[in-house]
Amino acid sequence: MRAARYHAVRDVRIEELPDPAPEAGQVLVKVAHNGICGSDLHEYYSAPTFIPTQPHPLTGVSAPVVLGHEFCGMVVEVGDGVDTDLVGQNAAVRPSYSCGECASCRRGLRNICSKLAFHGLSGPGGGLSELTALPADMIHPLPASLPLDLGALVEPMAVGHAAIRRVEFAPDDLAVIVGAGPIGIGLWFALKAAGHQRILVSETSAERQAAITALGAEHVVDPRSTSLLDTVADLSDGVGAAAVFDAAGVGAAITDSVPILGPRGSIVVVGIHEKPFDFNPTSLLLHEVAVMGSLIYSPQDYDEVIANMVDGHYNTEGWVDHIPLDDLLDGYEDLRAGRKMKILVDL
């Protein structure tokens, strides 16, 4: 089979590898589409962070690794102990591995396992390959009515779905999304599906402003030219935002958000920050605001995103492009340069 394998920074190769076979408890998936994630770009251009350079404590895997953790496809074979009815089933893949033994896992928080690993980053295979074998419990069946390109987006959309569940606020409260990239769009879809109507999007890129506006976002501003404080006051009847979701991964997404929060409002950090920034925690005291993180999803998030997709709350219009596997590195360049929003690699 053909697959994209990460060897080192700026060294990803399309290679011929042996076809995998499912072991006991596993399924073999013929991959349809795999999304390129911001973390893939970081690994390629900057430094291996999620890709282990030494054997991973849970999976034993280290570079070189087959990439691809946002994917879907069809189950074409099952290993011993797996229901044979799964053969022929389209499915989205939840790529996270957890140990089941650490403090987080014992509390039921497998999404923040201390040994967390990902199929396609630190696991024994990935979705940027024609075939991949993985545990059967990573499979989330997709209804036949759901297009497979949407199925490949379940993973990044589940990130946003999980993030909005980190805070409790009413549908009439104002929510602010900082950053309208794929995760910001996923947050917008999740908020709309949950019944939230007051949503403000802050984004500096004109292309991303246009993309999320075309999807139906009514309140989109460039914080460099429009006062966030004044806009939030107008949209919230002077109360302030109940929740701000940082999908930008830059310091200003947090420091500029504290003043726009209402009493006991929350900032949820969803984007990965590559650089530290100056921050004075005293700014949190006046209105007793909270800052928290949201890493990834649970199986429940996957199932709820799929159900919301079936109900028509998600679409790919105007922000998703497709490329073949051979154009993978060109896709990296397009995303890094801001020429594309989201790219699915067609396997």
Q: What is the pLDDT of residues 142-173, one digit of tens each?
A: 999 999 999 999 999 999 999 999 999 999 99
Evaluate if residue 69 carries a pLDDT over 90. Answer: yes
Sorted by where each begins, the domain ranges of the chain are: 2-153+316-346, 160-293
Q: Give the pLDDT band (50/70/90) at residue 238.
A: very high
Q: CA-CA distance, 258 to 266, in Å (whole number)?
A: 9
Evaluate if residue 274 carries a pLDDT over 90. Answer: no
Helix, strand or coil, per DSSP, at residue 34 = strand
Q: CA-CA distance, 176 to 243, in Å (whole number)?
A: 6
Q: Please say whether the beta carbons of 310 and 146 come within 8 A.
A: yes
Q: CA-CA distance, 320 to 213, in Å (whole number)?
A: 15
Q: Do 2-153+316-346 and 160-293 show the same overall fold?
A: no
Evaluate if residue 58 carries a pLDDT over 90. Answer: yes
Q: What is the pLDDT of residues 289-310, one digit of tens each?
A: 999 999 999 999 999 999 999 9
Mean pLDDT in the chain? 96
Share of the chain above pLDDT 70, in %: 100
Evaluate if residue 275 carries a pLDDT over 90. Answer: no
Going by C-beta distance under 8 Å and a sequence separation of 6 or more, which residues neighbour residue 19? 1, 131
Class of domain 2-153+316-346: alpha beta
Mean pLDDT of 32-50: 94
Evaluate if residue 272 carries a pLDDT over 90. Answer: no
Q: Give the pLDDT band (50/70/90) at residue 78.
A: very high
Whole-number pLDDT of residue 191:
98
- 311 φ, ψ to 5°? -80, 0
Q: Which among 181, 147, 150, 121 is positioned nearest to 335, based on CA atoms?
A: 181
CATH superfamily of 160-293: NAD(P)-binding Rossmann-like Domain (3.40.50.720)
